Amino acid sequence: MNSLIKPEYETMIFQFRGFKVMIDSDLAVLYGVPTKALKQQVKRNIERFPEDFMFELTKIEKKELVTNCDRLSLLKHSSTNPIVFTEQGVAMLSSVLHSERAIKINIEIMRAFARYRALLRENEELKKEILKLDAKLNHAFKFLLDKLDALHQEANEPRKPIGFKTDKKI
C-alpha cells in the first residue's frame, strides 16, 4: 500500500477533553495547504463543525500541548490558540477541502484513528488480564504469608526441654 502519511501519524493524535484529536497545523501539513487556508475553509463551512467535531484549545491546553510535544514549540509564540479536530471533524474536512490529496489523506487518517482505537481496545484487554493475574498472585502471597505466620507462632511456643532430667536444683 502506497501511504501518503508516514508512520509518525500516531504522534499527531492527542487527547483533549475526552476526545482523540488532531491539531490544525498538522492537518494543514498533511493536506498540503497553509494552516490559514484550512481555518478559512472551516470558518466558511462552520455549520459542518459542531463542538464534538472541532474546538479551540484554551491557553492552558495549548501550553500543555507545547510542553508535551517538542515539534510544536513554534505554537508557544503564536497569538492564536490551535483548533483541534476529532475523528468526525477530520472526516468532515474532506467535504470542505476538495483536492484529491485531501481525500487520500483523509482515508489514511481514518485508518489511523481505527488502528488507534484497536490498540486501545487491546490495551484494555491486556490490562484486564494483568489485573486477573495480579489478583491470583495476591491470593497466593496471602496464602504463603498466612502459612509463614502460623509457623512463626508455633516457633514461639515454649518447648519441653530435652536431654537428661534431674529433680535436684543446684
What pTM, to 2 d.p., does this model score? 0.60
- Residues of the chain with pLDDT > 90: what percent? 11
Long-range contacts made by residues 38-41, C-beta under 8 angstroms, separation at least 24? Answer: 38/93, 38/97, 39/83, 41/96, 41/97
Low-confidence ranges of the chain (pLDDT < 70): 1-10, 155-157, 168-170
Domain ranges of the chain: 7-124
Please report the pLDDT score of residue 13 as a whole number.
83
The DSSP result for 111-122, as a single string, is HHHHHHHHHHHH
Please state, in angstroms and rounded to a whole number, the distance separating the CA atoms of residues 62 and 56. Answer: 9
